[in-house]
Amino acid sequence: MRAVAISKPGGPEVLEVIDRPAREAQDGEVRIAVRAAAVNPTDIGLRRMGGGNLPPPWIPGMDLAGTVESVGPGVQELRVGTRVMAAVTPRRPEGGAQAELVVVPLASTVPAPDNATLGQAATLPMNGLTAIRGLELLGLREGETLLVSGGAGLLASYVIPLARERGLRVIADAAPADAELVRSFGADEVVPRGDGLVTAVRELAVDGVAAMYDTALLGRKAFGAIRDGGAIAVVRGWDDSETDRGIEVRPIMVREVLDRTDWLKELRRLASGGQLQLRVAGEFPPERAADAHRAMEAGGLRGRALIVF
């Protein structure tokens, strides 16, 4: 099978296509013929930093969609030919999602959303799980106010409707050109992104928001928008330094929840019902994986670039 591979840390030029065997599905696993695999910031990090103790080549990708090609012994929940989406970690010996055949735990695989293309479905599993995990860590009560930074981005576009589903009031930031888009995700209020963010949020929530889901990596620059004793969910880790005014930092590690079948089913339900917008920013064959990485690193994508097979 063909797979996108990273043979050494570096720039987009280190990406290549290799041929490698695909193992058979074992107990509790399915083997998927991949149609599309999303390119995420985690893939950029793997390319730049390498796979640590795992020997190269490293196969990137954390979410995919395709059809079930075969199932392991005893698997009855999914049949061959079923359209599915799945989440997988690239930090395993056989690598991640960007390959023609990928073996995935059954617990990390659910049918693709109704009326979605496989490309659209590939944008959902990992980012959707990240969105739910962050909301769980923040633990807000119904009626409390959440600030979501990077409102026009893909992760925020899932966080916002999931937060609304849980009864939260959502304030999100956006550039003027993206304000209506962010409202379409379900944001109650949209404030300008940039230097005036804290002031604009405080006009809507005088005491500060209960918590912030920081998809834009604003970090301390946005602490002024959070109330005393509030919390911030971060997606790229934290330096463990002290915070201000009792604000708690909640790092999100999505690898801890890749097997949450119940969450994947919730994401499928909401996407099937139209509450989640599945956005594809571009499709690239594996031979052009470097171009997909360059598009991601350039910023401003409104959706995910896909590797398509």
3-state secondary structure 233-251: EECCCCCCCCCCCCCEEEE
Angle at 88 between CA 3 and CA 281, to 5 degrees: 70
Indicate if 238 and 285 belong to the same structural domain: no
Indicate if 134 and 250 belong to the same structural domain: yes
pLDDT higher than 90, residue 160: yes
Domain presence at residue 152: yes
80: CATH: 3.90.180.10
Indicate if 288 and 212 belong to the same structural domain: no
Cα separation, 293 vs 13, in Å, equals 10
Domain presence at residue 266: no
Q: Tell me the pLDDT tens digit for each residue of 4-21.
A: 999 999 999 999 999 999
Indicate if 57 and 144 belong to the same structural domain: no
Indicate if 86 and 197 belong to the same structural domain: no
Structure-block tokens of residue 162: 């999931």
Indicate if 102 and 147 belong to the same structural domain: no
Indicate if 114 and 165 belong to the same structural domain: no
Domain presence at residue 273: no
**pLDDT at residue 242, rounded to an integer:** 86
Q: What is the pTM of this model?
A: 0.97
Cα separation, 89 vs 104, in Å, equals 9
Question: Dihedral (C-alpha) 154, 160, 163, 167: value to the nearest 10 degrees?
Answer: -160
Domain presence at residue 259: no
Indicate if 208 and 93 belong to the same structural domain: no
Indicate if 135 and 210 belong to the same structural domain: yes
Domain presence at residue 93: yes
**pLDDT at residue 239, rounded to an integer:** 83
DSSP secondary structure string for all residues of 33-65? EEEEEE--HHHHHHHHH--TTSPSPB---SEEE
Indicate if 194 and 93 belong to the same structural domain: no
**pLDDT at residue 290, rounded to an integer:** 98
Q: What share of the chain is helix, strand, coil (3-state, %, to 5)?
A: 30, 30, 40
CB 293 within 8 A of CB 39: yes
Domain residue limits at 242: 128-254
Sign of CA dihedral 63, 68, 70, 75: positive
